[in-house]
Amino acid sequence: MTDIRVFTATAGDPALVDALFALEAECFGAEAWSRESVRSFIENPAVTTVYAVVENAVAGMASAIFVSDEAEITKVAVATEYRRRGAARIILSELEARLSARGVRRLLLEVRETNAPARALYESAGFTVLSTRAGYYASPREDAVIMEKFLPR
């Protein structure tokens, strides 16, 4: 993708919260977090959120919450008009670099079993399937696939 820039989200930026909330609503529909949840998540010191800017618009994001040397990737989202241009791969890679710099060595995530784009993204980024959680998701009820990746020291 041409001209994609990735930044770390910081607290106290209402315009960024608005943009990330709009992205959340577009990408997750009925499962989208509220604007307040997006804001408080960014402000959580155990969370790293990165976002991508393309053509002066917030085009995508990824976030993770970490404890010690483990982190759980909570979201990866790219706005529809910017998909299939490598944005998510760049965003995920930047998130991994920031987490690695904070001492994270093991990444975990959950993904809906039928979310083929996300599963393909994670597999191509080096995640492997660890296990499944039956009926983990609601509306529609669906199993979660748990994936992991180890970051080099």
* 115 in contact with ligand COA (CB under 6 A): yes
147 binds ligand COA (CB under 6 A): no
CB 141, CB 129: distance < 8 Å: no
Active site residue 51: no
Catalytic residue, chosen from 70, 110, 113, 148, is: 110
**Residue from the set 5, 8, 11, 86 that interacts with ligand COA by CB under 6 A:** 86
Angle between helical axes of 14-28 and 35-43 (0-180°, round to 10): 120
137 is catalytic: no
- In the complex with ligand COA, the residue whose CB is nearer, 11 or 116, is 116
Give the integer Cα–Cα distance in Å for 91 and 7.
9
52 lies in the binding site for ligand COA (CB under 6 A): no
Residue type present at position 106: R
**For ligand COA, which stretch binds (CB under 6 A), given 75-83, 95-103, 135-143, 145-153?**
75-83
Identity of the residue numbered 84: R
**Closer by beta carbon to ligand COA, 53 or else 118:** 118
Q: How far is the CB of 147 from ligand COA (least distance, A)?
A: 11
Measured from the CB atom, the residue of 2 and 12 that comes closer to ligand COA is 2
Per-residue b/e over 127-144, b at no fewer than 16 CB within 10 Å? beeeeeeeeebeeeeeeb
**Which C-beta is closer to ligand COA: that of 89 or that of 106?**
89
CB atoms within 10 A of CB 111: 21
d(CA 52, CA 3): 10
Q: Which residues are catalytic?
A: 110, 122
